[in-house]
């Protein structure tokens, strides 16, 4: 009898994990980032499925790897000189098994449907790990905010929302920021949503300014969360980040607040970067000045070094060659490859925590794991942003406002819970230090149980 690889409903035999993986590869051929993320999860599922093969029943894995809905749309807008431009907008609503779709919007010229699908897939497991009842989604556009005026950003954001609004709702789909989408963009997006709906549904977007419905600590949450997670991970292994020398890639939202919290712990962050180059500042990065350069003046990092006598700017270079105890990739996907990982290990790194989504290639992760470096995968380590968004949604629904300190305390506790869930799953499968395995399995079990319970929908 011929095997029917494309028949996900065949009752005859349980497919192997590999057969499911191959089917997903065939169905998504060419989606490089998405398939990389799927492969990482499937590698982690091997020991789980070996113990509990019923996870292969009823095409459950196929369903978890197929987005519930994908929206692609035209975004026309006019620049300050009156010229008309067209960009492409995306929203991938991946899973609503655990709650409304939830995940950020990215504005960057490299954004494709593949990028958004990979990010939404990662978000499925990350959101499940928070335990807050959040589904998953992600969106964005190939629009490049660099060099655009405020008025251009506003017109683009309004046009983007003029299509996206019909797919959103505080019980349906709740976007937030990501690369290129910060407080300014969330404001313009929310303003247009409010105008179109004629309703002040503050729970429809998170990452809002605290002055109109946002959460104190949401801006800091992902970066602080990465530092909290890394400290918990090191503590569990009898180490600490206090007095560690650290390097952080990027100088955006996640990077800035990771640097701030690490330095509050007593660590010294000696290098950071942007897409033009890196700075080394042996006395420790001056966060207030970095924020002024990147968030207020919106300049490149050479402007940071120009005012700091001890700092040096290295055009076109990253940070992975700088000797450190702990490294925090906080810029973008696949920014840290095998050679970078080998260099970090040779220079004595003991801890790597991913602030960005999938910043380390699979080869780099294997180098760290083989060298015994404590490795925190982004799914767990950068979940602080979405966890804070969950708190923002809760406070919006209850029309409450908690203090910065209370939110920060909750964030820290949530990061410890996520570490605990990941470490426990890893220990149960006999690899206690493998948090990649643990985060994937713990997130998978939560979303898979809900998906199964809701029937074939
Ligand atoms: P920002 O836009 O605020 O900052 C991104 C930073 O990364 C900037 O310094 C940017 O440099 C740099 N960067 C972007 N692309 C590249 C590239 N190709 N090469 C080198 N540097 C690059 O984004 P966020 O800080 O919000 O996001 C960073 C990462 O964290 C992303 O992977 C995102 O998905 C992830 N993340 C973000 C969360 C959040 O709450 N914001 C939540 C969870 C994950 P430049 O200034 O030159 O553009």
In a domain, residue 207? The reply is no
> Residue 15's pLDDT is what?
78
In a domain, residue 362? The reply is yes
Residue nearest ligand 1's atom 48 by CA: 275
Residue nearest ligand 1's atom 36 by CA: 356
189 vs 238: CA distance, rounded Å: 45
How many domains does the chain divide into?
A: 3
Q: In angstroms, what CA-CA distances link 193 with 39, 78, 86, 163, 350?
A: 37, 19, 20, 10, 46
Phi, psi of 220 (to 5 degrees): -85, -15
Average pLDDT value for the chain: 95
193 vs 177: CA distance, rounded Å: 15
> Residue 12's pLDDT is what?
54
Cα–ligand 1 centroid distance for 68 (angstroms): 26
CB 263 within 8 A of CB 241: no
Tens of pLDDT, residue by residue over 211-224, are 998 999 999 999 99
In a domain, residue 432? The reply is no
Residue nearest ligand 1's atom 30 by CA: 356
Which residue out of 136, 205, 250 has the highest number of ligand 1 atoms within 8 Å of its CB and is therefore the one to mutate?
A: 250
138 is catalytic: yes
CB 158 within 8 A of CB 192: yes
In a domain, residue 397? The reply is no
Q: Looking at the DSSP assignment, which residues form a beta bridge with residue 122?
A: none
33 lines ligand 1 (CB under 6 A): no
Cα–ligand 1 centroid distance for 275 (angstroms): 9
179 lines ligand 1 (CB under 6 A): yes
Among the options 102, 117, 126, 138, which is catalytic? 138
123 and 54 share one domain:
no
Tens of pLDDT, residue by residue over 279-305, are 999 999 999 999 999 999 999 999 999
Cα–ligand 1 centroid distance for 141 (angstroms): 15
Q: Is the pLDDT at 6 greater than 60, yes or no?
A: no
> Residue 5's pLDDT is what?
45
* Closest C-alpha to 381, from 338, 407, 352, 361: 352
CB 219 within 8 A of CB 183: yes
88 and 40 share one domain:
no
59 and 106 share one domain:
no
- Single out the residue in 381, 399, 424 at which a domain terminates: 381
367 and 236 share one domain:
yes
225 and 342 share one domain:
yes
In a domain, residue 446? The reply is no
Atom of ligand 1 lying closest to residue 254 CA: 25
- Single out the residue in 345, 360, 381 at which a domain terminates: 381
155 and 237 share one domain:
no
Atom of ligand 1 lying closest to residue 177 CA: 41
274 lines ligand 1 (CB under 6 A): yes
Place of tokens 């055009």: 315
* Closest C-alpha to 223, from 337, 443, 382: 382
Tens of pLDDT, residue by residue over 114-155, are 999 999 999 999 999 999 999 999 999 999 999 999 999 999
227 and 370 share one domain:
yes
Q: Is the pLDDT at 77 greater than 60, yes or no?
A: yes
Residue nearest ligand 1's atom 40 by CA: 385
24 and 90 share one domain:
no
CA angle 112, 183, 151 (to 5 degrees): 80
CB 440 within 8 A of CB 40: yes
144 and 102 share one domain:
yes
Q: Is the pLDDT at 13 greater than 70, yes or no?
A: no
176 and 277 share one domain:
no
161 lines ligand 1 (CB under 6 A): no
Q: How many Cα atoms sit within 13 Å of 202 on the Cβ side?
A: 20
Q: In the chain, helix, strand, coil percent, each to 5?
A: 50, 15, 35
251 lines ligand 1 (CB under 6 A): yes
45 and 88 share one domain:
no
In the sheet that holds 173-176, the strands lie side by side as 69-78, 84-95, 136-141, 101-107, 173-176
Atom of ligand 1 lying closest to residue 358 CA: 32
In a domain, residue 266? The reply is yes
Tens of pLDDT, residue by residue over 238-285, are 999 999 999 999 999 999 999 999 999 999 999 999 999 999 999 999
In a domain, residue 216? The reply is no
* Closest C-alpha to 177, from 167, 166, 188: 188
* Closest C-alpha to 110, from 100, 119, 122, 101: 119
- Single out the residue in 314, 347, 381 at which a domain terminates: 381
Cα–ligand 1 centroid distance for 333 (angstroms): 9
E-strand stretches of 199-345: 245-249, 268-273, 277-280, 312-315, 326-329
38: left (phi over 0), alpha (psi -120 to 50) or beta: alpha
Q: How far from the centroid of its chain's Cα atoms is residue 234's Cα?
A: 21
CATH number of the domain within which 330 lies: 3.40.50.720
Task: Provide the residue range defining the domain that includes 81.
Answer: 69-199
237 and 195 share one domain:
no
Cα–ligand 1 centroid distance for 122 (angstroms): 16
250 lines ligand 1 (CB under 6 A): yes
173 lines ligand 1 (CB under 6 A): no
Name the band, by pLDDT with cuts 50, 70 and 90, for residue 435.
very high
Q: How many helices (H) and strands (E) does the chain have?
A: 16, 12
Name the band, by pLDDT with cuts 50, 70 and 90, for residue 1.
very low
Q: In angstroms, what CA-CA distances link 453 with 55, 60, 229, 446, 448?
A: 13, 11, 31, 11, 8
Tens of pLDDT, residue by residue over 361-399, are 999 999 999 999 999 999 999 999 999 999 999 999 998
pTM to 2 decimals?
0.94
Please list, in sequence order, all residues whose beta carbon lies within 8 angstroms of the beta carbon of residue 29, skipping any fewer than 6 positions away. Answer: none
276 lines ligand 1 (CB under 6 A): yes
* Closest C-alpha to 139, from 205, 81, 209: 205
Cα Rg of the chain (Å, integer): 21
Cα–ligand 1 centroid distance for 253 (angstroms): 7
CATH number of the domain within which 106 lies: 3.40.50.10860
In a domain, residue 405? The reply is no
145 lines ligand 1 (CB under 6 A): no
């Amino acid at each position: 009898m011929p095997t029917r690889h494309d028949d996900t409903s065949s009752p005859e035999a349980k497919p192997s994990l590999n057969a499911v993986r191959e089917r997903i590869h065939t169905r998504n051929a060419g989606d490089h980032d998405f398939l990389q993320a799927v492969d990482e999860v499937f590698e982690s599922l091997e020991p789980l499925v070996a113990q509990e093969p019923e996870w292969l029943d009823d095409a459950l894995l196929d369903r978890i790897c197929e987005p519930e809905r994908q929206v692609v749309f035209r975004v026309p807008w006019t620049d300050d000189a009156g010229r008309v431009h067209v960009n492409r907008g995306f929203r991938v609503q991946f899973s609503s098994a655990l709650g409304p779709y939830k995940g950020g919007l990215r504005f960057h010229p490299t954004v494709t449907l593949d990028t958004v699908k990979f990010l939404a897939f990662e978000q499925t497991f990350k959101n499940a790990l928070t335990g807050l009842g959040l589904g998953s989604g992600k969106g964005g556009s190939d629009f490049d905010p660099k060099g655009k005026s405020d008025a251009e950003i506003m017109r683009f954001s309004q046009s983007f929302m003029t299509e996206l609004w019909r797919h959103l709702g505080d019980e349906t789909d709740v976007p937030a920021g990501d690369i290129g989408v910060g407080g300014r963009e969330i404001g313009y997006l929310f303003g247009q949503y409010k105008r179109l709906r004629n309703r002040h549904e503050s729970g429809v977007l998170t990452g809002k300014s605290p002055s109109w419905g946002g959460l104190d600590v949401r801006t800091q949450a992902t970066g602080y969360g990465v530092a909290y997670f890394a400290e918990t991970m090191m503590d569990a292994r009898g180490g600490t980040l206090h007095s560690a020398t650290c390097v952080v890639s990027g100088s955006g939202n996640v990077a800035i607040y990771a640097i701030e919290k690490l330095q509050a712990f007593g660590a010294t962050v000696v290098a950071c970067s942007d897409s033009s180059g890196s700075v080394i500042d042996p006395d420790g990065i001056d966060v207030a000045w970095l924020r002024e350069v990147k968030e207020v003046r919106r300049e490149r990092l050479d402007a940071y070094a120009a005012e700091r006598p001890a700092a040096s700017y290295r055009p076109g270079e990253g940070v992975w060659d700088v000797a450190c105890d702990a490294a925090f990739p906080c810029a973008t996907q696949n920014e840290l490859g095998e050679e970078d990982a080998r260099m970090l290990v040779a220079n004595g790194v003991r801890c790597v925590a991913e602030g960005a989504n999938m910043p380390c290639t699979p080869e780099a992760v294997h180098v760290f794991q083989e060298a015994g470096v404590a490795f925190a995968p982004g799914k767990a380590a950068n979940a602080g942003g979405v966890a804070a968004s969950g708190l923002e949604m809760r406070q919006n629904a209850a029309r409450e406002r908690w203090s910065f300190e209370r939110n920060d305390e909750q964030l820290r506790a949530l990061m410890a819970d996520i570490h605990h869930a990941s470490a426990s799953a890893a220990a149960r499968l006999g690899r206690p230090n493998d948090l990649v395995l643990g985060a994937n399995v713990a997130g998978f079990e939560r979303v898979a149980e809900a998906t199964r319970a809701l029937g074939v929908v």
